[in-house]
Amino acid sequence: MADSDEDNELYDEFGNYIGPELDSSDDDSSDDESNDDNDNDDNNDNNETGGDDQSVVSGIDGDEGGAMVIADESLANQSADPVNAIVLHEDKEHYPSAQETFGEGVRTAVLDEDAMDLDQPIVEPVVTKSHHVAAGELGDETTISKSKQTLSFLYRDEFLTSHLLSNETTETRRGIALVGHLHHGKTSLIDALMEPTLKPEDRWDPVDSSSEDPTENKTNNSSRNNKSGTLRYTDITQSERERQMSLQSCPMTLALQDTRGKSYAMTLMDCPGHVQFHDESVAALRCVDGAILTVDAAEGIMMHTEMLIKQIVAEGLPVCLVITKVDRLICELRLPPRDAYFKLLNIVESTNKLFREASRGRYPPLSPSKGNVAFSSAIHGWLFTCASMTQVYAEHSADDSLGKLSSQEFSQKLWGDWWYDGAGKKFVDDPSKCRERPTGRSFVTYCLEPLYKIYSTCLGESEDDVASTLKPLGVHLTKAQLRSSSRPLLRMALSKFLETASCGFVDMVVKHVPSPATAAKGKVARCYSGPLDSPFVGDMVSCKAAKAEKLIMHVTKLYSSSDGRSFDALARIYCGTCKPGQRVRILGEGFVPNEDDEDVAVATIESIAIPRGRSQTQVTLATAGNWVLLKGVDATIAKTATIVGKNAISTNDGDETTGENDEDEEYPVYIFTPLKFPFAGGESTMKLALEPLNPA
């Protein structure tokens, strides 16, 4: 009891020592005692393990009774087991190392800090080659020239850009859209118009291409279309080349000559014919001054043709009709000339009926006698109008068999119910009035029968007969050309016979499609959303190339670049001038002056180019009345936009620039109305949410 009371005095109720201070000798003795106790416990444990786990070494120092117990290897290993070892937290491994996971031949690295910018991806996307067919690849993909990889035109680029596209020659420019149903010959028509402008060494040689190379890869659909024999120069993407159909509109600027030899700058918009790409035609019709409607002579009016007629009427554009693939009536349907005439007549009358219904009688009728209807066959390289056909007869006829008729009177008598009386040397509207029995209507006699004769001769007669038939027509072919197959022979014979008549397309466009300066008044009245009494409207109507601050352009279409990283904006310049490096304001479709000026952005024009199909011609200055491709303004454009000079409007975005004067502030700039698709076939019946397979 005394000992317990003494212990209680040394410790408090919590077990803490509160007794007198101990000496260091006492601490050492207590530690030695505890160590001795532990050693005794270990010896007792070793003695209890038995003889199997011990090895006794006798005879040490001559004492047989002495023995030394050595621990077994297994016990030594157990004492060094890493499971029982103390491992620091930072040294613990919860997962296998990278070397254990990936193997010996893989080097791994761990970066604690970002070494790249935030906008730079960790894994760069796969950069594929250009999806466009560049002009430099023509030598590999076509058979027009095996020695040259670029097309060479008869005229220089300076002639097109400095002369025809300058401000002083606004009357020598035309902007037209070629629209029509699928596979109705729009792209082939542009190729036929472009081929005479090429140098002879770059033109398609029918004799050279008539023999097929047995080593050629037949699965390469990107080569020249062997079925149509045309280049398809406005199909600029690989998808279009593979599918042999246009998927997007393509602008093409050419310098074309009329029958008098005068040159005009024609900006042709090749529009896709598939009904699902109707929006491409709508965007093209918005920025041009006229439309060329193409109809297949064998198929006639189709569903998309009716939709396009309604869209043309909605845009208020003048229209011309080109009946393509007339050769199908001769070679495929094998119609006689008289039946072929009625087939063509039915197409013209059906087209006029659709225009009357869509416009309620406001559109003038289409008629070959008026010069707004042409006939063509791109596969055989010919095109003519009634007016241009009279030029052919004027060149090849040395006698006065037509009497005192002028070329204009003769062209007006080449269509409709007109018969030629050879005895009286005049045209009559009733065959009973003829002194001699007429052979047929004037169009059949003077247009179709010569074509039928050339076709029948080249397809079924010998070389000597072909040469004797073509010689009076002024067509002289070499022996190698006469020995060629039927298709190249027909192309060479008909293209030379109707060489002058092919210029009739330019005559038709110049006569029935107004210039940009003439068409600006109606175009602005229909498309401009602002009041028509502002000074800006006056500049647009007069198509003035004033200061850069007076610049107004309308963007209707964006074209992806060859690398797919940016877009080129197709814009029509209504007034003012633009040049590379110029700061402009981009007005979006939601911009309303003095109400909603948030949809405004400032951009810098990086470059300006004249569209020429697969290639572009860079210019340093573009004036009013031109169609150009702009680079550097696509960041804020979704569909359409209005581009004005940087000082044309005043905004509240913190910029110090304001309007030029009080008059401009009183009459702010408005936007051009967005595109409308009233005839696109109605709303969609099914919608799908798609995810890209390769987001990069």
Enter the tokens of residue 437.
């029995």
Length of the chain: 696
pLDDT value for 57:
41
pLDDT tens profile 637-680? 999 999 998 876 655 544 444 444 444 555 689 999 999 887 55
E-assigned strands of 241-390?
Answer: 250-257, 263-270, 290-296, 319-324, 373-377, 382-384
Q: For CA atoms 485, 486, 487, 490, give the dihedral sign.
A: positive
Percent of the chain with pLDDT over 90: 47
Which among 540, 550, 555 has a CA at the least distance from the CA of 630?
555
Enter the tokens of residue 322.
């080109």
Looking at the predicted structure, is the pLDDT value of residue 681 above 70? Answer: no
> Which of residues 203 and 590 earns the better pLDDT score?
590
Compute the C-alpha angle 180/182/184, nearest 5°. 60
pLDDT value for 591:
93
What average pLDDT does this structure show over 592-616? 90
> Which of residues 455 and 694 earns the better pLDDT score?
455
Q: What is the mean pLDDT of the chain?
A: 80
| Contact indicator for 491, 379 with CB cutoff of 8 Å | yes
Enter the tokens of residue 222.
């990107």
pLDDT tens profile 94-134? 888 888 888 888 888 877 777 778 888 888 877 665 667 65
pLDDT value for 144:
34
- Type of residue at 95: Y
pLDDT value for 436:
78
Q: How far apart are CA 659 and CA 655, in angstroms?
A: 12
pLDDT value for 212:
40
Looking only at the bridges linking them, the beta strands covering 68-69 and 56-57 are antiparallel
pLDDT value for 124:
81
Which among 371, 366, 362 has a CA at the least distance from the CA of 389?
371
How many Cβ atoms from other residues are within 10 Å of residue 617's Cβ?
Answer: 16
**DSSP per-residue letters across 508-524:** HHHHHS--HHHHHHHHH
| Contact indicator for 389, 376 with CB cutoff of 8 Å | no
Q: What is the pTM of this model?
A: 0.76
pLDDT tens profile 317-344? 999 999 999 999 999 999 999 999 999 9
pLDDT value for 658:
41
What average pLDDT does this structure show over 353-366? 94
| Contact indicator for 264, 270 with CB cutoff of 8 Å | no
| Contact indicator for 250, 241 with CB cutoff of 8 Å | no
User: 543: pLDDT confidence band, cut at 50, 70 and 90?
Assistant: confident
Q: How far apart are CA 463 and CA 640, in angstroms?
A: 58
- Range with the lowest mean pLDDT among 16-20, 352-356, 564-568? 16-20
pLDDT value for 31:
53
Looking at the predicted structure, is the pLDDT value of residue 222 above 70? Answer: no
| Contact indicator for 493, 465 with CB cutoff of 8 Å | no
Enter the tokens of residue 161.
């850009």
Place of tokens 């006056």: 538
Looking at the predicted structure, is the pLDDT value of residue 147 above 70? Answer: no
pLDDT value for 382:
94
Place of tokens 């400095």: 162
Q: How far apart are CA 641 and CA 591, in angstroms?
A: 10
- The SS3 call for residue 468 is helix
pLDDT value for 145:
35
